[in-house]
């Protein structure tokens, strides 16, 4: 292949590829000046802590903030499932040695158990699984489902 090949677009027209350094830096940033693939700082664990504390208003506000900084609803959903699963594991065990969890998340999940009954966690876990499968079948959308779940805490 010749160098000429690399200077043509898909229609065969010759394209000038002499980009300056300033133009090149713009190729790696979005409209807000952030590097492509990056997003503003947001600690998702503040959201999971709000869920564990059963602070539905705070959880909803943090959920909306997470969406606004570019975290996908599906990523938030998995963190929500992780939090509920951790609390269920903590509710059914006596110490961290009986689990495959690290000490800090286990103790945190154990401390959140005062806010939920085990039956409530099981119901919530079941509704998350059922809701996820309905969404995958096209019978709803993830953002709305998470919002309803949070407001129902």
For 43-52, the pLDDT digits (tens) are 999 999 999 9
Contacts of residue 28, defined as CB under 8 A and 6 or more positions apart, other chains included, come to: 35, 36
Percentage with pLDDT > 90 across the chain: 66
pLDDT of residue 41: 85
Q: Residue 87's closest CA among 58, 66, 55, 114?
A: 114
pLDDT of residue 23: 47
Residue 120 has pLDDT above 90, yes or no: yes
Beta bridge partners of 60: none
For the segment 59-114, what is each residue's pLDDT rounded down to a tens digit? 999 999 999 999 999 999 999 999 999 999 999 999 888 988 899 999 999 999 99
Question: What CATH class has 42-151?
Answer: mainly alpha
For the segment 94-104, what is each residue's pLDDT rounded down to a tens digit? 988 898 889 99
Report the distance separating Cα 56 and Cα 139, nearest Å: 25
Domain residue ranges of the chain, discontinuous segments joined by +? 42-151
3-state secondary structure (DSSP) of residue 77: helix
The pTM of this model reads 0.72
């Amino acid at each position: 292949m010749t160098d000429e090949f690399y200077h043509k677009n898909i229609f065969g027209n010759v394209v000038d590829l002499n980009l300056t350094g300033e133009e090149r830096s713009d190729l790696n940033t979005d409209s807000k000046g952030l590097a492509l693939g990056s997003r503003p700082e947001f600690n998702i664990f503040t959201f999971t802590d709000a869920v564990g504390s059963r602070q539905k208003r705070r959880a909803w506000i943090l959920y909306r903030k997470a969406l606004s900084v570019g975290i996908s609803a599906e990523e938030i959903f998995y963190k929500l499932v992780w939090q509920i699963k951790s609390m269920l594991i903590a509710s059914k065990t006596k110490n961290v040695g009986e689990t495959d969890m690290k000490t800090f998340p286990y103790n945190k999940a154990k401390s959140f158990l005062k806010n939920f009954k085990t039956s409530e966690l099981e119901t919530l876990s079941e509704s998350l699984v059922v809701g996820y499968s309905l969404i995958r079948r096209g019978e709803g959308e993830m953002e709305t489902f998470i919002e309803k779940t949070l407001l129902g805490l």
